[in-house]
Amino acid sequence: MSPPPTIAEPRPEVVTRGVPPRRAAWLEATTSTDHKAVAKLWLGAALTFLAVAAVEFALTRLQLIVPDSTILVPEVFNRILSASTVSAVVLFAVPALIGLIGYIVPLQIGARGVALPRLNQLAFWLFATGALMIYASFLYTVPETPLAPFPPLADEVFSPSNGVDAWVGGVALATLGFVLFAVNLIATLRNMRAPGMAWRRAPIFTWAAATIGYVLLVAGGAMLAALTMLTVDRHFDGVFFDAGENGEPLLFSHLTWIFFAGCHAILVIGAFGIISEIVPSLSRKPLFSRPAAAGSLVAIGFLGVLAWMQNMYAAPIPDGFAYMAMAAALALVVPIGLIYFNWIATMWNGAVSLRAPMILALCGAAALMLGLGGQLMTAVIPVGLQLENTVAAQQDTIMVVVGFTLAVFAGLHYWLPKVTGRSVAEGPAKLAAGLILGSAVVFALAMFLAGLEGQPVDVFRYYEEDGVATENLIATIAAIFLVLGVLVELGNLAGSYSSGRVAAHDPWRGTTLEWFALSPPPPHNFDAVPDVRSAEPLRDIREAIREREAAYEPPAPLPRAAAPEPAPAPVTAHAPESQPEPEAPSQPEAEAQGPAPDTSTGEDGNDSPLT
Amino acid sequence: MAALALALLAPPASAAGLGPDAANSPNADSIRTAYWVMLAVALVLGTALIAGLVVAARRFRARDDAAPRRLTAARGTAGRVGAGLGVLAAAIFVFGVVMTEDARDASADESAESLDIGVVGQQWLWRFEYPQDSESSTGEEIATVFSYGELVVPVDTTVNLAIDSTDVIHRWFIPALGGQVEAVPGEVAETSFRAEEEGVFEGSSTQFSGTGYPAMRATVRVVSEAEYEEYVQSLAEELSEAQAEVAGESAAESPDPEAPEGAAP
């Protein structure tokens, strides 16, 4: 009689020393190579610098509120002005766009990541180092370079301090970050689109992103070359820009204008791309004439860079070059006009829902038109000779940046539910949109009139007899309201980021693949990537679900007396094998049925976003 | 048609301050014509597009869950709109080229009188070098006659400016007398104007050039022919006096007989 076995036979088992501890959230956010984590860093940095640039802009305007003002000493004014310009363009505008692209575009093309994730991460940290370098100069010598350090003024003779070096180093690092981001973006777009997503089916914002990638490569490369040569000139006895040694000071102007013209084109393309996503989505219609819209974005990139010399009409360049720049700048009328026309035609006969993204997008379109209309005027050489480098032409650029900022806000309202799973409050956004656009119009008009009187850009002082006191007073008041509007919206975004109402996975009934992912998306973005069969894959998927639901017949009740034959009934009930795209419905169905308790409230929760 | 409408509309608009101040030179006139035409084009185009957006948004405003009336629009519309815009752009380009010829300088109109002035920018003032046609009374060679800050020119004379810089990039800009010209070291940029009336015309550099940049202003005083001759003569005399003074001083102090040239007045 043997005792019952008390010891089980050996069998394989999984051994662990415990669940690995979670890393701290900040460590995860800053070291993850997930494109979404990196993009959030870009966005956070960009919006921070937007607040900084806006406040600096208000300070410079405050100095000009009255003639002969002595609120700020000249050096301080020049430093704040320089910091404001570089913050607005290099530290806010381009990074904000990169953040949106870096988050959304891989989702839009149905990719589970990016092609070169570590390069993508390196790009951000190069940019962050550059930004730190620029702002660290406030601890020693601040650059006084309102737009860019143009030699000979930036040569050692005239600018012996190392402020210029801080500007050059910081902008070079940031630009290198942009270029590396563009490399990763282009590699991702070429290689990682979902099956079936031919270029003709790529979403319009993806088209904008692709154009921006190539523009960044060209424009960023030119800027890096210019800054390298300037450093050689300053510290290693170079003569690239030294007229006395057969150098060419204008060469630096050309290269930096290629960069700034590229940045300008990027802002316009990015804003147009965002608005072109929102307008169809909230009009419940496909974008009118997609090929024309996509082609227009590409054309703006090409022509916008080609027209860089439209900023140099007054410089001693050959007439032929000036005419080429004018031709390219005027040709921009066609793609820009077409894009606006496409938006109008998209809304026409649609069901336009004036939610916050739509309001912000339309206000952005209006502000952009204020700036682009002014630039159409200055593109003609005689008018350019009159208005260039006066505050009249400067306000065109500011209006483009304001329009771009509104478009970025619109994009954040549209896409933040995807990023955070929470919707952004709409009341403050509509208030901010009105405040920004209204004050921008007043500001633009006042500055335009002052520019007609010949008020130059970048001056820290004007005199009573210049006759521009009223215009400057009005412009300063308007600028303060403008900045207030921006700060209100930034506060709104920050407040809604972690405590907004919970949103559904597809709050706008979007038609592109980012709405196929969960909100927020898991690290791998998609459990299953659907076949793309049109430019609006989610519309196809919804239709497939609708058809399936219509075709669904509830199983007949089992006859009581019949012999048990359980096999056929479950097969007809579930029947997934007989349908195409077996994995496609999993997520939308989950959405429709509400996997989480918040989904059903999310849909109508967005209607009254008073929280 | 457009020109006629502009001719009617421009004066009241100008009075309302929507345009640059009155011109006093043919090339500045061309700039103003181009300005009014482009203002009209930009206003019409911009207003049309913004109005289109507003009308579409208001007319087709709907509740959140509403369905669109139609999903498609007429085909080929984008092509027609693009073609129209292309024609507009081409027309503006031709117009721009024609106006540029007139706007760059005033020398196209042949006039008997002309005057060559050298304009040299430096941090933070302008130096004007007058031609040396006024000989000094003693007959000895004098340095270039020059003045700082204020340029005096005769009326109804084509004034050719050769603009240069000795240090950093500046911009020459007198709104009433023509467009901006960049003064780049190592390059001589040329422009010209012909003042139609006497008066004082002011402007300031529009290119950031360092701390003193807002003070970099210039005045052009347009006077009669006789007054101009008198002015240059007095400048020349002042200069030769100063030179003599410097020469006397240096002769007294040092044996070096070479008097330094171009002493500032």
Q: What is the mean pLDDT of chain A?
A: 88
B91 interface with A at CB cutoff 8 Å:
no
Q: Is residue A369 part of a domain?
A: yes
Buried b (16+ CB within 10 A) or exposed e, A544-577: bbeebeeeeeeeeeeeeeeeeeeeeeeeeeeeee
Distance CA B95, CA B116 (A): 30
Stretch A479-486: mean pLDDT: 96
Q: What CATH number is associated with residue A312? A: 1.20.210.10
B148 interface with A at CB cutoff 8 Å:
no
Domain boundaries, chain B: 2-59+76-104, 114-253
What's the Rg (C-alpha) of chain B?
27
Name the pairing type of β-strands B158-165 and B181-183.
unpaired
Q: Is residue A490 part of a domain?
A: yes
A138 interface with B at CB cutoff 8 Å:
no
Stretch A57-69: mean pLDDT: 91
> pLDDT at residue A607 above 60?
no
pLDDT band, residue B104 (cuts 50/70/90): confident
Element at B165 (helix H, strand E): strand B158-165
Report the domain count for chain A.
Answer: 1
Q: Where are the beta strands (DSSP E) in B19-144?
A: 114-122, 125-130
DSSP codes, B205-230: --S--STTGGG-EEEEEEE-HHHHHH
Angle subtended by helix axes A35-63 and A74-86, to nearest 10: 150
**According to the CATH classification, is domain B114-253 in 3.40.50.620?**
no
**What residues of chain A, 142 to 181, have a C-beta less than 8 Å from chain B?**
144, 146-147, 150, 152-153, 158
Nearest to B161 by CA among B115, B223, B207: B115
Angle B1-B6-B9 (CA atoms, 0-180°, nearest 5)? Answer: 125
Name the pairing type of β-strands B114-122 and B158-165.
parallel
| More confident site: A141 or A42 | A42
Per-residue pLDDT, A130: 96
Distance CA A95, CA B236 (A): 59
Q: What is the ipTM metric for this complex?
A: 0.86
Name the pairing type of β-strands B181-183 and B189-194.
unpaired
Distance CA B99, CA B34 (A): 7
Name the pairing type of β-strands B114-122 and B181-183.
unpaired
Find the domain containing A470 and state its range: 29-94+243-499
Per-residue pLDDT, A145: 87
What does each C-alpha distance from B40 to A174, A447, B19, B20, B84 come to in angstroms? 40, 19, 12, 15, 17
B253 interface with A at CB cutoff 8 Å:
no
Element at B193 (helix H, strand E): strand B189-194
Per-residue pLDDT, A5: 61
Distance CA A399, CA A447 (A): 11
Per-residue pLDDT, A232: 94
**What residues of chain B, 164 to 223, have a C-beta less than 8 Å from chain A?**
167-169, 171, 173, 175, 178-182, 184-189, 203-214
pTM reported for the whole predicted model: 0.87
What's the Rg (C-alpha) of chain A?
28
CA of A605, closest CA in chain B: separation in Å? 12
Distance CA B163, CA A63 (A): 32
Task: Check B52 against A341: CB less than 8 A apart.
Answer: yes
Backbone dihedral region for residue A575 (phi beyond 0: left; psi -120 to 50: alpha; all else: beta): left
Query: How many contacts does A have with B, using Cβ atoms within 8 A?
Result: 268
Task: Check B179 against A462: CB less than 8 A apart.
Answer: no
Determine the residue of chain A that is closest to B21 in CA distance: A453
- CB count within 10 Å of CB A197 equals 24
Per-residue pLDDT, B72: 72
Nearest to A35 by CA among A96, A106, A94: A106
A289 interface with B at CB cutoff 8 Å:
yes
DSSP codes, A477-502: HHHHHHHHHHHHHHHHHHHHHHHSPB
